[in-house]
């Protein structure tokens, strides 16, 4: 039961923080891959992976890591991570989005006959339009 564990980022006693009890998303993804081989795959992550996750990424045989944010760039763990990934030939780069936001209108999804929130078209119409634009190279 997660409610029995602390979720604080800081405390006088490290055992009263979340850190001894949680695993990072990279470990979770690699361990829960349902027996699929991830060798040669690309991993997409929110934060640049720490040195411990870099070790797992290398051992799993991933070829590339694409991250959104590197807010801990100057910490020793991230420096070590970059060194490890570079030495192992694992490519890494920051994701450069073409859009600044994605809005999911669950009301339209749950009630496709109604347009909500200023939507100009139903989700299925929007999907058809986007697929057509993609095919046409727009």
Q: How far is CA 22 from the centre of its chain?
A: 17
- Cα–Cα dist 57/51, whole Å: 10
| DSSP states of 3-54 | GGS---S--SSGGGSSTTT---HHHHHHHTSTT---TT-EEEEEE---HHHH
Residue 51 phi/psi, 5° resolution?
-65, -35
133 is catalytic: no
Instruction: Give Cα separations from 74 to 25, 38, 55 (angstroms).
Output: 21, 29, 19
**Which residues are part of the catalytic machinery?**
26
């Amino acid at each position: 039961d997660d409610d029995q564990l602390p979720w604080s980022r800081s405390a006088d006693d490290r055992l009263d923080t979340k850190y001894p009890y949680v695993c990072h998303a990279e470990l979770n993804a690699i361990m829960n891959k349902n027996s699929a081989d991830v060798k040669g795959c690309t991993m997409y992550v929110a934060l640049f992976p720490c040195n411990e996750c870099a070790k797992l990424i290398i051992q799993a045989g991933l070829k590339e890591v694409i991250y959104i944010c590197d807010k801990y760039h100057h910490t020793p763990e991230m420096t070590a991570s970059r060194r490890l990934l570079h030495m192992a030939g694992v490519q890494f780069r920051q994701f450069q989005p073409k859009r600044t936001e994605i809005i999911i209108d669950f009301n339209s999804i749950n009630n496709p006959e109604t347009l909500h929130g200023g939507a100009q078209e139903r989700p299925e119409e929007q999907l058809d339009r986007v697929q057509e634009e993609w095919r046409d190279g727009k």
